Amino acid sequence: MNFNFGAQKVVESAGRLTAGIKDVTFMGVCFETKTSQKDGNSFKTLALKLDVDGYGPYTQNFFEPQSDERQTMQWGVSASMLDHFLIIVREILEAVDPQIIKDIDSGSKTLTGNFKQICDTIKQWTDPMIGKVKFQAKFIPQNNGYVSLPTFVARIPKSGDLGIATRIVGKDLTLTPKEQQKVEAANSAKPTTMPNKAADDLLNSASEELDDLPFA
């Protein structure tokens, strides 16, 4: 075996991404298909790509919502999976280019279609901002020992309108009391060896797709 220590480029390995609010650079969004290693089923996602200050590249996949049904609970009406996705998309667009949201609200831009069409349109609108926009992102501890952006971000007030429960990307982010508790607990915990459960748990929970996602 011949050794050549000058042939391979070596970079410093990024540390573990910790919980909390981080400064990030927008690196794009795109439609992706993820395949479950457990059963081979494929699932559609909107992939958000960020460069996290002090960490490096980070990608989060937001899965295609499988239901638009809101459920009535003892404390009120709970947001549907579609509601959560609508708020996620709105927050991403507002963080990258607030004018896009203003145009959607005024009716000068429309965001409708099936899941892939939605993802492709978001990509088209935001590609010019890749590497140019910095904002904050909120990373919250998950049950698998890692951190990610929250995905349950919508709420339904008594008026029945669609509301924002928490902001995951944007300017001047703050943690809710529950999020703050999770972050403090994670940052003060001693390191432990956690099982590396990839996206399969999320993938296996998905089922049927919606034909259209209305954003107007």
pLDDT over 90 at 213, yes or no: no
Strands (E), 9-105: 20-35, 42-52, 56-63, 71-73, 76-78
- In a domain, residue 206? The reply is no
CB 105 within 8 A of CB 93: no
- In a domain, residue 199? The reply is no
What DSSP line would sit under 129-192, residue for residue? GTTT-EEEEEEEE-TTS-EE--S--EE--TT---EES--SEESS----HHHHHHHHHHHHSPP-
- In a domain, residue 187? The reply is no
pTM over 0.85: no
- Under the banding of pLDDT at 50, 70 and 90, the label for residue 126 is very high
- In a domain, residue 49? The reply is yes
Average of pLDDT values for 126-144?
96
Tell me the pLDDT tens digit for each residue of 163-193: 999 999 999 999 999 999 999 988 787 655 5
pLDDT over 50 at 196, yes or no: no
Tell me, what's the pLDDT at 15?
75
pLDDT over 70 at 40, yes or no: yes
Average of pLDDT values for 19-48?
94
- In a domain, residue 204? The reply is no
pLDDT over 60 at 202, yes or no: no
- Under the banding of pLDDT at 50, 70 and 90, the label for residue 214 is low
Number of domains present in the structure of the chain: 1
* Domain encompassing residue 137: 20-182
